[in-house]
Structure 1
């Protein structure tokens, strides 16, 4: 099913920079009525408010804090589209001394935060007609790179949860997207040492809108992502997106 975001109310986590900021801007410029800019520090959304006025509403969400997520779901009870873009990155190998601590830190935000967002906002989306729940995963959720192994593991777990959400939320008419960017020009991309091959975050926004038009589940926005996505396509269509039962 396709989804038209014109005049819709949207919430984007991690909205103050990088992909999240571009998503806020893109939703407004493509006709959304209002965007909740979900951030850990409300003042970090000030530049978006200055640019777009009351079409941007800063709201506090810390993906490591369930209470903040639940409070946001109560306050933003008119939301029709949720884009869970926020996340953390620590690049460690499985043999690093702090590998376990790194994985625990990233699981807490990238996976438990996703689950808590879904639990809090699925009822809101249902009450508002179904809507959209999009999760920013990564190409490393499909292909692990050894020096980013703990991050890859957290994103693989998030991808697994996103697959379950696709199945569960379709019953309430919610379109679920799993977005798998490769190297994108953000501070996180710089931290991963991918600056030289990174592509613009606008590619992610454009790919999400294309997926909404076509009702797609998997979204591969950039050059590396599309290459991996093309190789993965058969498995994605015949296994991940197929109606297979647990038995």
Structure 2
């Protein structure tokens, strides 16, 4: 997979990991990066073109796909999270439905809308789905978020099987807590979004199917086939 001269579309690209990936794409020679954002700021960053986008709105997604039909790499990064009191929280179902609109249905909608453009990229089309270690290890206070990421992981695996035959590569990115606004104020080990962005694009260029961007995520993933998987025996750092 070549990043040089590619044209990428990154959702949720106004900050955090999305912005880090957009900047890393440019550093590696991407010709243009569309930054999908809810509210365009008008900031003039050479190579980055802001596109108004709400991944939960089908009309907005369709408009973005039509306006950016030259896209060769789609990065489904937009995501939200919420903390609930426990798995018995009366609000858990409502919170899960709300988060799923972005983390799950939005990811599906974007993948479907941009596929026609990606399929025309002569074997250089790709989708990167930003997932999480929460795809496999569900913390009680983040149960709603984990439900959406597990669902997104399942969809990503099905998408990869189908699109492989159509010449579009699908990469799943998993990581634990990152040092972004979403985790501000939490005292825990965090990986930098710039490091995750670099690992993601290394994996994309190498044609890998999954990127596990930090040590804790790799440990959780490896535990799944062990006698003490993380989802039954939670790691000390949660």
**Common topology (TM > 0.5):** yes
Classify the secondary structure of the residue corresponding to 1:38: strand
Q: 1 CA distance for matches of 2:220 and 2:203? A: 17
Contact 1:63 1:109 in 2 (8 A): yes
- In structure 1, the residue matched to 2:10 is 12
For residues 1-247 of structure 1, what are the structure 2 equivalents within 5 Å? 3-43=1-41, 46=43, 49=44, 52-53=45-46, 55-92=47-84, 93-130=86-123, 131-190=125-184, 194-232=186-224
Classify the secondary structure of the residue corresponding to 1:196: coil
How far apart are 1:196 and its partner, in Å?
3.2
Alpha-carbon RMSD across the aligned residues, in angstroms, is 1.5
Contact 1:83 1:135 in 2 (8 A): yes
Contact 2:136 2:221 in 1 (8 A): no
Q: 2 CA distance for matches of 1:231 and 1:6? A: 36
Deviates more, 1:221-230 or 1:103-112: 221-230
Provide the TM-score with structure 2 as the length reference. Answer: 0.89
Structure 1 moving runs of 4+ over 6 Å:
none
- In structure 1, the residue matched to 2:232 is none
How many pairs does the alignment contain? 224
In structure 1, runs of 5+ residues without a counterpart are 235-247
Classify the secondary structure of the residue corresponding to 1:42: coil
Classify the secondary structure of the residue corresponding to 1:172: coil
How far apart are 1:95 and its partner, in Å?
0.9
How far apart are 1:232 and its partner, in Å?
4.2
